[in-house]
Homo-oligomer: A and B are copies of this chain.
Amino acid sequence: MTLEKRLTEYWQSNSLTEPGSTVIVACSGGPDSLALLDILWSLKEKLAIKVVAAHFEHGIRGQASKDDESFVKNYCLEREISFYSESANIPELSRARGESLETCARQMRYAFLNRLAVELGGALIATAHHGDDQAETVLMHLLRGTGLNGLTGILPKRGNIIRPLLDFTKAELVEYCHHQGLSPRHDATNEETDCTRNRLRLQLLPLLKKEYNKNITRSLCNLAETASAEEELLHELTIKAEERLCQLDGRGENSYKIKISDFIKEPLAIRRRLIQQMVSKISHGTALSFQHIEAVLELIDRNATGSSLNLPDRCTAKISYDFFYLSKKTEKILTSHGTIEGTPYKILKLGSSVVLPYGDTISAYAADSLEGEKSFSKNKIYCDAAKCGTELIVRYRHDGDRIRFENGNKKLKDFFVDAKVERSSRDRVPLVVNSCTGDIIWVAGLRQTTVALADKDTKQYIILSYDKGEE
């Protein structure tokens, strides 16, 4: 079966796109992503998609980086493929932000691709992750310690990102380029400095291939596919069990109660997953270790009223008569009025508000233009929607927070000092954050950063407002 036929089948069986979708191929110019762009371009009618290419020029390797960009641009020019690119000085930016080159480059690359996806009207982003990447990922999760969820590896589709090449090995993609007469650039972005992944790629996988199973890559990819479907089913069953068994404890979203007699009737696999799911829910993603889950099961098994167990991230399990409770101790936030209780962060959906401790609220809505919008102030700002990421988050400050302005960036703490915000009030100033990049968009009521500033190219706006409530 040809590569094109296999890709088409993989595409269809994983329902990667709807007819008419626009697919942005993230192309570095290396063999993997060039093969992806070339195959998708040749299959665009068959797959009923529009294909465009995007290149992020990170400036890490000077002229070579610029040459990568020209290479992809020329490739697209010859074929009349729409080409988008963005440049950044990642070495400088990463130093300024105190991040590693790789983290910074990845964040900026995805921020660019996400903005482009919004600009192109909800396009999908295709990346060239292939079977070797998949095998490495599965093995890495396995070595770190994982359940079924880690064995699913990289998913063919997640949010607006699709990975059409997971069924192919690196060697097949290199061979494809050779066969098509393409001369890809040396793929420097693939030489990650992630130490574990590198050792895995250069030392462990070759050893396993030589001494244990020459088809280990294929075996691990198959495991990932099997595990994905089984994980999906088990996840659905857990959701159903949650609907049947879990009730909010009336203290808001931070505590659930479950009737013990019902709980113990569930299969062990569902009992384990339900505990993880509820803790993840009350604590925004906290992952429990196997030992923690077993300890909760044991607590429930002993069923002694009043007994309890501390879990990571201020979560607790507690037995009280016929029920057990999974709760998160709410944060004590110091304000000028004393301590109040709050949640660590909330998701801010467009067209709605989040209510914060003391009744203050942050609201967000989208607008095609600013006409008719009045009275922007420190408590009401507008942003470029394309720069806000896929989701906005409202949270309080963390250690190490930094904010970006026209003339560089500074510690949030220093900003508060300069803005003369009392120490006792700083912990309750809401921050609106781009969930993709983690960047602070707005120090609510005080200062908008440059992260999501609208400009002449802005196509859609997001209006944010802050109502301080009763205070």
Q: List the interface of chain A (C-beta within 8 A of B).
A: 9, 13, 142-148, 151, 196, 199-200, 203-204, 207-208, 211-213, 215-216, 218-219, 222-223, 225-227, 229-230, 232-234, 236-237, 267-270, 272, 290-291, 298, 301
Contact = CB atoms under 8 A, between A and B. Distances in A.
Given A226-B272, A226-B290, A290-B225, A236 B267 contact: yes
Nearest to A222: B290
A222 B268 contact: no
21 contacts: A13-B301, A142-B219, A142-B223, A143-B208, A144-B212, A145-B213, A145-B215, A145-B216, A145-B223, A147-B222, A148-B226, A148-B227, A199-B212, A204-B211, A207-B207, A222-B291, A229-B269, A232-B269, A233-B237, A233-B270, A236-B267
Contacts of A208: 143, 204
A134 to B, nearest CB: 14
A229 B145 contact: no
Nearest to A221: B290
A227 B215 CA distance: 23
B219 A144 contact: yes
A145 B222 contact: yes
Which secondary structure dominates where chain A touches chain B?
helix
Contacts of A226: 147-148, 269, 272, 290
Given A230-B148, A272-B229, A212 B143 contact: yes
Contacts of A213: 143-145
Interface centre among A215, A218, A219, A298 (most CB of B within 10 A): A219
A231 B195 CA distance: 34
Interface centre among A145, A218, A236, A272 (most CB of B within 10 A): A145
Contacts of A207: 204, 207
B268 A232 contact: yes
Contacts of A143: 208, 212-213, 216, 219
Nearest to A140: B212
Contacts of A218: 145
Nearest to A297: B13
A151 to B, nearest CB: 8
Contact of A230 (B142, B215, B234, B298): B234
A244 to B, nearest CB: 16
Given A145-B219, A148-B226, A199-B211, 14 more contacts: A9-B298, A143-B208, A143-B213, A143-B216, A144-B219, A145-B215, A199-B212, A204-B208, A226-B272, A229-B269, A230-B269, A232-B268, A233-B237, A236-B267
Given A143-B208, A196-B212, A199-B211, A267 B148 contact: no
A118 B14 CA distance: 53
B267 A233 contact: yes
Contacts of A212: 143-144, 196, 199-200, 204
Contacts of A298: 9
A223 B147 contact: yes
A49 to B, nearest CB: 21
A365 to B, nearest CB: 38
A216 B146 CA distance: 11
A252 to B, nearest CB: 31
A292 B168 CA distance: 18
Contacts of A229: 267-269, 272
